[in-house]
Structure 1
Amino acid sequence: MGGKYIILIGDGMADWPILAIGNRTPLQAAEKPNMDFMAANGSVGMVQVVPKEMYPGSDVSNLSILGYDPAVVYTGRSPLEAASIGISLGPDDVAVRCNLVALKNEGADSEMEDFSAGHISTSEAAELLASLQEAVADKGIRFHTGVSYRHLMVWPGGCDGVKTTPPHDIHGKKITRYLPQGDGAEFLLTIMEISREIFSDHPVNRKRVAAGKLPGNAVWLWGQGKAPRIATFEERFGLTGSVVAAVDLIKGIGIYAGLEVIAVPGATGYTDTNYRGKAEYALRELERKDFVLIHVEAPDEAGHNGSVEEKIRAIERIDREMLTPLLARVREKGDLRILLMPDHPTPVAIRTHAQEPVPFVFYPAPPGLVTTPGMRYTEADARDTGQFVPAGTRLIEYLLA
C-alpha cells in the first residue's frame, strides 16, 4: 500500500444493552451498512484504549489512539484546549477548564442542574466571562472564551495538583463533595463563588430565564494542567497529517502532535454537526497529506444527554454521510486504510464515560489482524472474534503496518 490513512473516531459510540431498544446497544440497533461491511471484510476486535488505572476521558483516549502513551505524556486536559484557542502557556502557567454551568438551590443544597448551562451560546458566555474578569482583576488570572459552555482560565504560578471533578460526571448531584480539594483549592473555590454572585442577576441570565432557558449562573473549574511536551506525529512516524475536529480538546492534541487543524464550516461538536463536510475536507487533505484524524463528538453528546434516539441517529449519519465517501475513496484508489472506533463508551444509562474495552474495525484488514466473515460492527461481534488489543497505543502500529 502507498500509505494513506484515516482514523475516524465516533466519540463515545460504544454502549451497553438498553431495554427500550430490545436489549440492544445503539450500534446493534442502528442502520449502518458501511460499518457492517467494514467489519465483515476488514478486521474487527476489542481494544483497551486507556490504561485501566486512568479515567477514560477523550483527552487520554485520543492521545492513546494516536500512539502517545497517556501515562507518560498526559498533563491534564486544559493545556490541550489552550493550544487549540491559540494560547501558549509559560512553564509556570496552569491552564484550567472553565465550564459555564447551571446550578440550582443554594449553599449545601447546591446541585449541578446542567454542565452546559443549556448549551449557552458563545456570545452570551463571552459577556459573562468579561464581567467575571472585571470582578477578579486583582487576582492575576485570565479567562479565554472557547465555544458554547467550554472555556479556559490561565492561572500563572497555579497549583496543578489540586483535585477537581468533571461537571458532566455530577449531573443532578449535590456539588459539595465534588468541589476542588487540596493544594490551591481555596483559590479556585473563591473564583467559583465570585462567579455565582456576579452571574446570578446578570442581564444575560435575566434574558435566558425570561426565554425559558437555563442560566449560566456559575463557572466550574476543573481539568487543570501545565503544557505537555510530546514528539510530533511526523517525528515519530515520518508522516504528514491533519486533524478534522470541532472540539477544542482534539484540535489541541492535533496541534501538539504537529497535525494541521482543518476548520470545517458547520462543524459544531454537537449532534447537528456537518458530517458530510468533515468527510469531504478529510479527503481533500489526503491529496497532500498521508494521514487524517477525523473526530465526531455527536454520539458522545447524545450519551451525556441520555438520549438513545439521538445516539442511534448520530451513528447512522456517520455511516451514511461520512463512510460512504470514505469507502468510495478506498475502492477507487486502493491506497487508503481506515480505522473506525469510539475512544471510550458513553453509555446512555450512566450519561458519562465507562472504563472498558471498545470495538475497533480496520478496513482493509492490516497485517497481523484476522478477518472474521459475517461479523457486524457491534460490541458483541467484536468480542466474539476473540481479537483483543491490550493497549490503544498499539492500534497506530497496525494502521501504518
Structure 2
Amino acid sequence: MSHILLIVDGMTDPDFRLADYPAMDSMQQLAPVDYSEGGRPETLACTLRILGLRQVPPHIRPIVEAYGAGLEVAPDDLWLRGSWYHIDEQGQPDRQESPETFTLRTDATVEIEPHDLGQGHWLFRLREERYLCERLTLPTPFVTGKMGDLLPEGDETIRDYFSQLATPRHRLIVWDKGVSRPLPQLQEPSVIIAAEKVLLGLGKMLDWETVIHPALTGDTDTDLGLLAQLTLEAAERTDRVIVHVNGADQAGHQRDEAGKRAFLRRIDSELLPLLLRSPHRLTLTSDHGCDPATGCHLAGPQPVLCSGMTHLRGNEGYRKQFSSL
C-alpha cells in the first residue's frame, strides 16, 4: 500500500469552503498547517516544508527550476527568475499575464541568457556572475498594495536590461535570484507527478523518479482522469507518490475566480473519487492560498485532509510534518 500526497497549489482563499466540495469534505480533517511559517508564501519553500524539510535554503527556486527545465547549472552562474504581469492604471501589477508579443534584447554586450519556462515565466542566466547575487535587491510581486519600483537594484546593466522588458500594459518582474547550491536530501524516496518545472527540478535534484505527460499541464486544462491513472500506476511500484496540481493557483494569479472554482470542482469530482476508491492512503493539502480578487499568494493555515488517520498515527515522519499528529 502506498501513500499518495496530493498538493493542490493555491487551493484556498478567503471564500474557500470545504463544504462546497463533497469529496474533500468527506475526508478526515487534521489541524491546518501554515507552511509559509511567517515567510513569503512561495511554492517551492512551502512544498519542501510539506515534505518535512525544516530549514529551507534561501534563493533556491531559480536553481531548482533550471534543473527542471533541463538546463546546465554551473557553480559560478547567477540565475534570475521572473514573471510577466499586467500593469494597472496606477502602474502596479494586478495579475500575472504575458503580452501577446514582446521583444527580448539580443545586444551582445548584455550577456544575459533568457529561458522560457512557459505560462509567462522566465529564467535568466548570467554566466560567472555569482558575486552579484548578494548585491541585487529585487521586488516582491506576490503582495498587495503599492510596490514602488519594479526593477532590480544593485547593478545598472541588469536594471537596464529588464527596464526594456515591458510593453505599455505589461512588465516582466524579476522576483528571485539564486546560485548553485546543494539541496538537503529528504529521507523518503518518492515518485513526483507534476507539470511545473519547480516540482520536476526538485525530483531531479533529489534523484527521485518524475512522471510527465503532454496532457498534464500547469493550468486548468490539465487531464485529471489521466493524472488519476498515472498516480495509481505509480502507487503500485513505490511507497509514496507526490502529485502536484497547479491549475487553481494559475487561475488565481489570473484573477479568474470562476475558473478557479470550476477547476476545484473538477478535482473534487474527477480526481478525488478515483483516488479515494483505491486501497492507497491519501493526504490532500495546499502549499499556500491564492486570492483571485488580487492575484496574490496568501499565507495562513492550509487544510490537511486524509482518507484515514490510522496510517498516520504510527508514522513518525508524518508526525513531524503535520502539527496535529
TM-score by length of 2: 0.86
Give 1:175 shift.
6.1
Matched, 1:67 2:48: no
Q: Distance in 2 between matches of 1:264 and 1:368?
A: 31
Checking the alignment, whether the CA contact within 8 Å between 2:94 and 2:295 is kept in structure 1 is: no
Which structure's CA Rg is the greater one? 1
Partner of 2:305: 361
Partner of 2:137: 163
Matched, 1:38 2:30: no
Matched, 1:49 2:35: yes
Give the superposed CA RMSD: 3.0
Checking the alignment, whether the CA contact within 8 Å between 1:95 and 1:155 is kept in structure 2 is: yes
* Alignment-mate amino acid for residue 395 of structure 1: Q
Structure whose residues are more often helix by fraction:
1
- 3-state SS of the aligned residue for 2:64? helix
- Unpaired runs of 5+ residues, structure 2, are none
Cα separation, partners in 2 of 1:179 and 1:292, compared to 1, 3 Å:
same
Partner of 2:113: 142
| Aligned with 2:241 (options 246, 268, 292) | 292
User: 1:202-232 deviations in whole A, cap 9, x for unaligned?
Assistant: xxxxxxxxxxxx97x6432221111231244
* Alignment-mate amino acid for residue 164 of structure 1: L
Q: Distance in 1 between matches of 2:281 and 2:142?
A: 34
Give 1:300 shift.
1.4
| Aligned with 2:152 (options 180, 205, 217) | 180
Partner of 1:339: 283
* Alignment-mate amino acid for residue 85 of structure 1: A
Partner of 2:261: 312
Give 1:174 shift.
6.8
Matched, 1:277 2:203: no
Matched, 1:352 2:296: yes
Give 1:306 shift.
3.0
Q: Distance in 1 between matches of 2:304 and 2:313?
A: 12
Matched, 1:219 2:189: no
Partner of 1:79: 63
Q: Distance in 1 between matches of 2:163 and 2:243?
A: 38
Give 1:176 shift.
4.1
- 3-state SS of the aligned residue for 1:44? strand
- 3-state SS of the aligned residue for 2:272? helix
Give 1:89 shift.
1.7
| Aligned with 2:159 (options 170, 176, 189) | 189
Checking the alignment, whether the CA contact within 8 Å between 2:140 and 2:147 is kept in structure 1 is: no
Task: Give the 5 Å matches for 1:222-237.
Answer: 222-233=175-186, 236-237=187-188
User: 1:116-160 deviations in whole A, cap 9, x for unaligned?
Assistant: 225x5xxx67xx44xx2x22x222221112213111101121422
Matched, 1:115 2:84: no
Q: Distance in 1 between matches of 2:181 and 2:323?
A: 23
Q: Distance in 2 between matches of 1:260 and 1:154?
A: 26
Cα separation, partners in 2 of 1:368 and 1:6, compared to 1, 3 Å:
closer
Q: Distance in 1 between matches of 2:172 and 2:211?
A: 29
Q: Distance in 1 between matches of 2:86 and 2:312?
A: 49
Structure whose residues are more often strand by fraction:
2
* Alignment-mate amino acid for residue 222 of structure 1: W
